[in-house]
């Protein structure tokens, strides 16, 4: 009987809080995959070379640089050019940026670009930014694999933050169709 009580205590004290945190982060949320047409996006960006795991630090610096130019940064955007599954970490390439207004004037060292509307295969998931990319790309892979296809680059990632501390944001990954 003592073993059963100890086991239940372990479950409630350690395992249950971990499961609840992962649920709050969106780890158990469904990822929607659909064929659609993307919306045009204008964004300010910098070119990124290196380990994609280091993007968040570069995004923080980029956000500060955008604000220094008196531009209001919108949702973060990542245009991924290399497949991290097969590319060495020091050779990975992306554009990291933020959505900006159509009339915003961007100066060096920042660049700006417009992604026009086009047909895409889109994965969308509501989860923390730490979990969402893996969930979205896995859903794309699972959708494409039965068709004998694989993920095509460049992909465009856009993370729309939640509206409160209790709500996770939504990551949308657009893959060219």
pLDDT of residue 5: 62
Please tell me whether residues 41 and 3 are part of one structural domain. no
Q: Examine the domain organization and report whether 67 and 14 are in the same domain.
A: no
* Cα 53 from Cα 66, distance rounded (Å): 22
CATH code at position 50: 3.20.80.10
- Mean local confidence (pLDDT), 78-84: 96
Q: What was the pLDDT predicted at 1?
A: 47
Task: Let me know whether 24 and 100 are in one domain.
Answer: no
Same domain, 49 and 20: no
Q: What mean pLDDT is predicted for residues 130-149? A: 95
**What is the distance, to the nearest Å, from the Cα of residue 135 to the centroid of all Cα atoms in its chain?**
10
Average pLDDT, the chain: 91
Task: Look at residue 163 in the predicted model and tell me its pLDDT.
Answer: 83
Q: What pLDDT score does 3 carry? A: 52
Query: Is residue 69 domain-shared with residue 119, that is, in the same domain?
Result: yes
76 shares its domain with 151: yes
| Mean pLDDT value of segment 15-19 | 79
Reported confidence tier of residue 36, pLDDT bands at 50, 70, 90: very high
Residues 121 and 156 in one domain: yes
Q: Report whether pLDDT(4) > 70.
A: no
Assess whether 81 and 123 both reside in one domain.
yes
The mean pLDDT of 89-99, rounded to a whole number, is 96
Q: What's the rounded mean pLDDT across residues 86-107?
A: 96
Domain span including residue 14: 1-29
Q: Answer whether the bond into residue 154 is a cis peptide, omega within 30°.
A: yes
3-state secondary structure of 132: helix
Q: Binning pLDDT at 50, 70 and 90, where does residue 130 land?
A: confident
- What is the number of domains present in the chain? 2
Q: Looking at the structure, tell me whether residues 22 and 47 fall in a common domain.
A: no
Q: Specify whether 103 is located in the same domain as 123.
A: yes
Quote the pTM value: 0.86
Q: Kindly state whether residues 45 and 132 are assigned to the same domain.
A: yes
User: In the chain, where does DSSP find H-type helix?
Assistant: 2-10, 16-24, 55-68, 132-144
pLDDT digits (tens, 9 = 90+) for 152-166: 999 999 999 888 877
Q: Specify whether 17 is located in the same domain as 61.
A: no
- Residue in 115, 127, 124, 128 with CA at minimum distance from that of residue 154: 115
């Amino acid at each position: 009987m003592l073993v059963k009580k100890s086991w239940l205590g372990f479950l409630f004290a350690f395992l249950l809080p971990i499961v609840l945190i992962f649920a709050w982060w969106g780890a158990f949320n469904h990822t929607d995959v659909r064929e659609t047409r993307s919306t045009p996006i204008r964004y300010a960006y910098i070119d990124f070379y290196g380990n994609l795991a280091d993007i968040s630090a570069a995004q923080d610096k980029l956000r500060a640089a955008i604000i220094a130019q008196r531009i209001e940064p919108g949702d973060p955007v990542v245009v991924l050019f290399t497949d991290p599954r097969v590319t060495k970490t020091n050779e990975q390439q992306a554009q990291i940026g933020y959505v900006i207004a159509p009339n915003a004037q961007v100066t060096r060292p920042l660049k700006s670009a417009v992604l026009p509307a086009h047909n895409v295969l889109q994965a969308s998931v509501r989860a923390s930014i730490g979990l969402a990319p893996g969930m979205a790309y896995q859903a794309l892979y699972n959708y494409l694999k039965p068709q004998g296809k694989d993920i095509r680059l460049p992909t465009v990632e856009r993370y729309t933050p939640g509206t409160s501390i209790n709500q996770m944001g939504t990551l949308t990954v657009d893959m060219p169709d």
